[in-house]
Amino acid sequence: MTKRQILIDLIHFLLKHLTRTIYAGMENIPAEGGVLIATNHLSRIDIPVLFDLPRRPDITCVITTKYKKNLLIAPLAWMAGAIWIDRDIADFGAIRTALDVLKKGTCLGVSPEGTRSTTRGLLPGKSGIVFLALRSGVPIVPVGLSGTETAVHDLLRFHRPHMLATFGQAFTIPEIGRDNREAEMQRWTDEVMCRIAVLIPEQYRGVYKDHPRVKELQNEKASG
């Protein structure tokens, strides 16, 4: 048994027995092939929740290099095969690694916000995930997490946290021409974030709460 499989089994055991974690909409995740899982980021518990994803046990993630010196997170990230990224620079090495992973057919989790939200609401998304989707040609599956932000607090008080991961429909980003490229990259970044926003309660939507695209997506969902 590999170190990664030991880690998967351990996370699964802990989540099953210490939490009430629900995965909804997993049929929206392609069963095989490269795919980007775009998630909001509320807590350090987010990664274990996604790592226990029943549909795609091959999932790995992008994680900031600031955790390399964390005695708990660093060894777990190595065991999981996470991709380290320095968010203070244009980390082309991490980008190349992520593209290689996707092209090999692996599931990769990314937080477009780039950091945990301390307000629980969505922060402005960054365009890195759009770049990865365009260069790799893989679909994006949005996921909205809720309940993870209070999980540690609940566990320390011997309460089982209730956590929910809701997956939306997969979508692909068409090729973007050179004309008005920056605006188009921003538009698709907003599209990713709005698709995450409709999967979480309104109080979690942050800067996208009143975005017109969120209302459009909600109407599409209601009508269809």
Q: Are 143 and 167 in contact (CB under 8 A)?
A: yes
Return the closest-CA partner of residue 64 out of 55, 54, 77, 51.
77
Q: Are 118 and 46 in contact (CB under 8 A)?
A: no
The residue written with tokens 């893989």 in the block is: 138
User: Domain boundaries in the chain?
Assistant: 3-223
CATH value of 3-223 in 1.10.3470, 3.40.1130, 3.30.1370, 3.40.50? 3.40.1130
Q: Looking at residue 115, what DSSP letter applies?
A: S
- What is the pLDDT at residue 20? 97
Name the band, by pLDDT with cuts 50, 70 and 90, for residue 130. very high
- What is the pLDDT at residue 224? 65
- What is the pLDDT at residue 72? 80
Res. 197: pLDDT tops 90: yes
